[in-house]
Structure 1
Amino acid sequence: MGASFSRYLCLAVGVAYPAYASFKALERPHTGHDSKQWLTYWIVYGATTSVETVASPLVCLVPGYNMTKTLFLIWMMSRQTHGATIVYDKLLCPFLKQKESFVDRKLEEAQEAAEGVLSSFVRAWGQTITDQVVAIQKSDEFKQICLAIKALASPDSIEERRKEKSID
């Protein structure tokens, strides 16, 4: 099976389906178990994706890696195997509890640093960006694009497109 196909399959199985299932769990009343299952899945998925990203130079050398990962993700989300709960309870939770204060401290430091960088960026470039946005908004091209979008969104235009589709 092609590497590209298996990557897309892995994405569909590992992200798209769980995202939709998480949406369904949040929107259904009284689904505490479903919500917990999907929250646990996302915690484990995030941890494995983080490790995978760091190990990516080695991972790409493993034949069949994406297919193996897809099978692992299916195992993790299965209601019969409770794979994500097993990985969380046996590995992640004990590890995170042990490192929690260190991680909290580092995250706080990173947040403060990011806020400092953002503040410096806004001080240095804020006015320039504002001037550019204002100039774009005043341009004829921008006004033409806005008029075209407005025309496309008008009820008459939408009805015309529906009629065209029904003719085809």
Structure 2
Amino acid sequence: MDIVQKQLKVVRTRLDKYPVFQEVEDKTGAPKEIVALGLAVVLGVAIIFGMGVGSLSSLVGFCYPAFKSFQAIETKHKGDDTQWLVYWVIFAFFSIMETFVDLLLYWIPFYYAFKLAFLLWAMMPQTKGAKYLYDTFLKDLLKKNESKIDAALAEAKKHAGAMGSEFASATSEVATAVSAAVKGDKKE
């Protein structure tokens, strides 16, 4: 039991850095280390049983890296810029892949728990998982297919421009027809 008490004291000392836990302790009367452990258990159960984990993994995969990217942009040191740019390339690639195999992923048990672990591994500066994936797999794939990707993007841009022009023309025609109809109603 002494080991548990010592660990709880360590947790309490670490939680002293976060005023929100002190506020919760003051309002509820529950020790902040117990509140934190309770939150960890609830989060763990949610991850294991998949309740809201899709949203949680998306938030974790986006919010922390977005904030760190903002911080990287605002510093003069450019090493962290590269880390977060590589992360976003991996995140985008992963998101696109996930879109195409979404129906299959539904049947994989604990998929979102694995996704959350993957995203944490990819984003953590200690592991540099995104950089590892980029250097090991993605960089060569992108470099080898760069001309094909550029051609596909140019073609998409051309089609998007044509569609935009058609949409603008159709919108103009509808607006003209509506305006004529409104003017016709006023004359009657």
Superposition map of 1:17-166 within 5 A: 17-28=64-75, 30-126=76-172, 128=174
Shift of 1:8: 2.1
Structure 2, unpaired ranges of 5+: 1-45, 179-188
Q: State TM-score, norm by structure 2.
A: 0.65
Shift of 1:4: 4.0
Shift of 1:3: 2.7
Q: Does 1:15 align with 2:62?
A: yes
Q: What is the CA–CA distance in structure 1 between the aligned matches of 2:174 and 2:60, rounded to whole Å? A: 44
Shift of 1:31: 2.4
> 1:94-126 deviations in whole A, cap 9, x for unaligned?
000111101110110011001000101101113
Q: Which amino acid aligns with 2:139?
A: C
Q: Which has the higher contact order (CA 8 A, sep 6+)?
A: 1
Give the CA RMSD over aligned residues: 1.7
Evaluate the alpha carbon distance shift between residue 129 and residue 41 of structure 1 in structure 2; reply closer, same or farther with a 3 A threshold: farther
> 1:62-107 deviations in whole A, cap 9, x for unaligned?
1111110010011011111110000000110000011110111011
Q: What is the CA–CA distance in structure 2 between the aligned matches of 1:15 and 1:80, rounded to whole Å? A: 18
Q: Percent identity?
A: 35
Structure 1, unpaired ranges of 5+: 133-168
Aligned residues: 131
Evaluate the alpha carbon distance shift between residue 126 and residue 20 of structure 1 in structure 2; reply closer, same or farther with a 3 A threshold: farther
The structure that has the greater radius of gyration is: 2
> 1:17-56 deviations in whole A, cap 9, x for unaligned?
111111111112x120111100000000000111111011
Paired position in structure 2 for 1:6: 53
Q: What is the CA–CA distance in structure 2 between the aligned matches of 1:74 and 1:21, rounded to whole Å? A: 13
Evaluate the alpha carbon distance shift between residue 3 and residue 126 of structure 1 in structure 2; reply closer, same or farther with a 3 A threshold: farther
Q: State TM-score, norm by structure 1.
A: 0.73
